[in-house]
A and B are shown apart, each in its own frame.
Chain A
């Protein structure tokens, strides 16, 4: 099977600070991954691990400092026509209340998308298309017609946002924390929706989250990011049921389990983001329980192990 998106040594470097004390932060550090057709791929990690920067690079809102992003063997950095790109890659954002301009009707965005991408010849065709996509997410046109974002609930808005992104029949959907602001009682219905879209519309989804429990629930493959590196990647069952990298273990252990029986957890160390980004060697060495001398000197290479790839000295021969 051929990949639809391939990232090769993708890198983004920001330089921060004033005129005299510039520090360079490698927000995304030579990461490589690929997306298969009709799969859900999770990019997981804590805030400031580079997952959103990666998403913005795929959407073309940021240019990579180095490396390449190939969509069907076409290099994204050479794509001049952004509109053609958005026809294939669309996105859903975190805050449903911010996704649409509060002073504009939600339906305007649907008609605009159809108009700008020439998806319908007339009003009737446009409405049919909108109805079809809204049906797919469990809404109908009369639910949103004539309404402003303030009149819809967070769940409805997030569904509408997904429906809008589907109008162009994209082959890749980027979902940046799409459920973290949706009400708890509705969250799973939105999560289930991604699975359904993936299965019935053959859309691949890049699901960006720090919530490993939902990632486990819907995704096929997962990549755990830490301070710009992908530290572990592979099929989701492998990675989350049998974690190898100490950081993956920490993340899994930190999930608040819905089980009051296990309340006490071992205390953890907590370091500042900036400090870790500037660290030499393995970025996790500052709080790794199994740290070795070599970890502080050298960034580990990727090692293949039982179908997963781990970036850790523990597993290097």
Chain B
């Protein structure tokens, strides 16, 4: 089964050159993913594991120092696959907002503090959408907000009059204005407290149910993945280590890293002691050899240090990249 976005053996690295010294940060290192249609897809991983870079690449926004080394990202547009990374600037611009939207991290703080929200938005929309007058777009935006249960008067407010949660919800609501089929959201709930988080998640779910489109939600918070995603991928040091339906990942995590992540989550009513992963996250500048998790893995064996396991090609949707979970060789 093919998804709406297919990622094949993607490698995008940051190449930094400073005073003659060249450094390569392997942010996305050999990632293959299939993002299914009409659901909320989660990508989990801690800071600096390359998840934001992956999202930027999915959005086909590769700008120096980020460079594409290998692989491709295909969008499914009207039953045809289009390689997004070979499109030219104009073609990309045409797809943005109508086919694919990107909500960057901290987008709630991008509003111009001295302008009303609608002014910022009109400037932005007018530069992205051709053929529609400002007033038409504004009434469209108001209508859209109303449909999502947000007060349209909010557009007349200044950013500082609204809380972070409200600004984030408006940023999300307006990024879906032109009903894109894919929405990429980078840490939309970070820096919000639980109540505001819940309101944002509620909004994401509402939009998804209304538009029947695909959300790619990147966050480090496993609780949020459990709450809203249908299937998900776990990323570690630039690589995907586990993919599968969220329910299965939570009930039967296969990768030792995923096991740690899930078992270390505290719950109310459970006072048992929780442990976190030993050691520290690796640097993407020179990631460990073989499986990047091996220096921290409690079940490490010799082969882990030499070779990176591939995602096992079981017929199940739930796949893992770990030597421990290989089926015995035939």
Contact = CB atoms under 8 A, between A and B. Distances in A.
Do A and B touch (CB < 8 Å)? yes
Interface of A: 45-48, 153-156, 183-189, 191-192, 210-214, 216-217, 240-241, 250-252, 254-261, 263, 265, 267-268, 270, 272-274
A188 B275 contact: yes
A258 B250 contact: yes
Given A153-B280, A270-B195, A272-B163, A259 B221 contact: no
Top 8 A-B pairs ranked by shortest CB distance? A256-B223, A185-B277, A210-B193, A46-B193, A183-B46, A188-B276, A217-B266, A189-B276
Given A46-B194, A46-B196, A274-B161, A258 B265 contact: yes
A241 B268 contact: yes
Nearest to B277: A185
A263 B194 CA distance: 15
Contact of B264 (A188, A251, A259): A188
Contacts of B257: 185
B85 interface: no
A7 B271 CA distance: 29
Interface of B: 46-47, 161-166, 192-199, 201-202, 220-224, 226-228, 246-247, 250, 257, 260-262, 264-269, 271, 273-277, 280-281
Contacts of B274: 188, 191-192, 217
A184 B258 CA distance: 11
Contacts of A240: 268
13 contacts: A48-B163, A183-B220, A184-B222, A184-B261, A184-B264, A186-B276, A191-B274, A216-B268, A254-B198, A256-B197, A260-B227, A263-B228, A268-B202
A188 B280 CA distance: 13
A48 B196 CA distance: 12
Contacts of B275: 188-189, 192
Given A185-B276, A187-B276, A256 B221 contact: yes
Contacts of B199: 268, 270
A187 B227 contact: no
Given A153-B280, A183-B281, A270-B195, A192 B267 contact: no
Nearest to B220: A184
B163 A265 contact: no
Contact of B166 (A184, A252, A259, A272): A272
B41 to A, nearest CB: 14
A87 to B, nearest CB: 32
A91 B29 CA distance: 39
A213 B228 CA distance: 18
Contacts of A191: 266, 274
Nearest to B251: A260
Contact of B223 (A153, A156, A183, A257): A257
Given A185-B46, A213-B266, A217-B266, A257 B194 contact: no
Given A47-B163, A183-B281, A265-B202, 10 more contacts: A47-B192, A184-B220, A189-B275, A252-B268, A255-B268, A256-B226, A258-B222, A258-B265, A272-B162, A272-B166
B318 to A, nearest CB: 13
Contacts of B269: 216, 241
A268 B195 contact: yes
B280 A155 contact: yes
Contacts of A155: 280
B277 A186 contact: yes
A260 B250 contact: yes
Contacts of A256: 194, 197-198, 201, 221, 223-224, 226-227
Nearest to B163: A273
A280 B328 CA distance: 69
Contact of A184 (B162, B221, B226, B280): B221
A213 B265 contact: yes
A188 B222 CA distance: 13
Given A48-B163, A186-B280, A263-B228, A192 B273 contact: yes
Contacts of B264: 184-185, 187-188
Contacts of B163: 47-48, 272-273
B157 to A, nearest CB: 9
Contacts of B280: 153, 155-156, 186
Given A192-B274, A257-B227, A154 B47 contact: yes
B45 to A, nearest CB: 8
Nearest to A252: B268
B227 A263 contact: yes
Given A153-B281, A184-B220, A192-B274, A258 B262 contact: yes
Contact of B197 (A187, A254, A274): A254
A89 B330 CA distance: 64
Contacts of A46: 193-196
A45 B276 CA distance: 25
A183 B282 CA distance: 12
A109 to B, nearest CB: 21
Contacts of A189: 275-276
A212 B267 CA distance: 9
Nearest to B236: A185
Given A211-B194, A212-B194, A259 B268 contact: no
Contact of A47 (B47, B193, B250): B193
B198 A268 contact: yes
Nearest to A250: B195
